[in-house]
Amino acid sequence: HGGGWRGGSKGNGGRALNMTRRGFAVVDVEYRLSGEALFPAQIEDCKTAVRWVRANAKKYNLDPDRIGAWGSSAGGHLVAMMGLTHDENVFETNDHSQYSSQVQAICNWFGPTDFLRMNDFEGRIDHDAADSPESRLIGGLIQENKEKVAAANPITYVSKNDPPMFIMHGEKDLSVPYNQSELLYAAMQKAGLDVTLYKVVNADHGFRNATQDSAASLFEMSAQFLEKHLKPQTDAASP
């Protein structure tokens, strides 16, 4: 879920229910917010959730080899981190530690990817300020804590074995500038990875004011990406 890492909660969107109707099992993750715990608590919680899924796969009749992650805004940042840090052996906890936290596909809706470049474009948030969501996440001004920022930036971890990623972003997003997705897309392309960037024309944060795409069509594109990479081919091809 989104909320600038300091707000929001699981269960506040309809994507989970819609995906169950397409035959997916969905785990809606609640992670610690920045007012309770600084980074990396948030990504630790998300990766722990993946290991919990694998530990309980037999109990709930789940396929532990086909796990995807989908998030928006702060949640987009976290799912990108989940996908890109799989081979770094970082942000793991002792909970279900015998299981992998690797995911097989990522749907990243307008997540921050390179905090120090967020003020490249004018928007409604001064990301370099002490009270910005990014500064609150790491516990200090981002421009004065570049090591901490690098650890929290998904773009830091791009490597040749990362899973497929579908990125969707409004071109006129005034909260998380569109350049965040462009930067990650370019880095992943350079690494030879399977990555797609879809620009939502005229859309602000959360795809508000989109002029060419409906909410249903944006959901459909994202769901089809996950079906392509997670569903067995016989299931994905069936009506």
Here the tokens at position 11 are: 């269960």
- The answer, yes or no, to whether residue 237 has pLDDT greater than 80, is no
Q: How confident is the model at residue 12 (pLDDT cuts 50, 70, 90)?
A: low
> Could you tell me if 165 and 188 are in contact, meaning their C-beta atoms sit under 8 angstroms apart?
yes
Burial, 47: exposed, middle or buried (Cβ in 10 Å; 0-12, 13-18, 19+)?
Answer: buried
**What kind and span of H or E run contains 169?**
strand 165-170
For the chain, the structural domain boundaries read 15-231
Distance in angstroms (rounded) separating the CA atoms of residues 25 and 80: 20
Measured CA to CA, the distance from residue 22 to residue 29 in angstroms comes to 19
Tell me the whole-structure pTM to 2 decimals: 0.94
Q: Which CATH number is associated with domain 15-231?
A: 3.40.50.1820
Confidence tier at 234 by pLDDT (50, 70, 90): low
Kindly report the average pLDDT of the chain as a whole number. Answer: 94
pLDDT at 11 over 90: no
Give 164-204 pLDDT, tens digit per residue.
999 999 999 999 999 999 999 999 999 999 999 999 999 99
Work out the average pLDDT over 48-68: 98
pLDDT digit string, tens, across residues 206-220: 999 999 999 999 999
Our measurement of the distance from residue 166's CA atom to the centroid of its chain's CA atoms, rounded to an integer in Å, reads 10
| pLDDT for res 70 | 97
pLDDT at position 236: 46
**Got the DSSP string for 95-109?**
TTTTS----SEEEEE
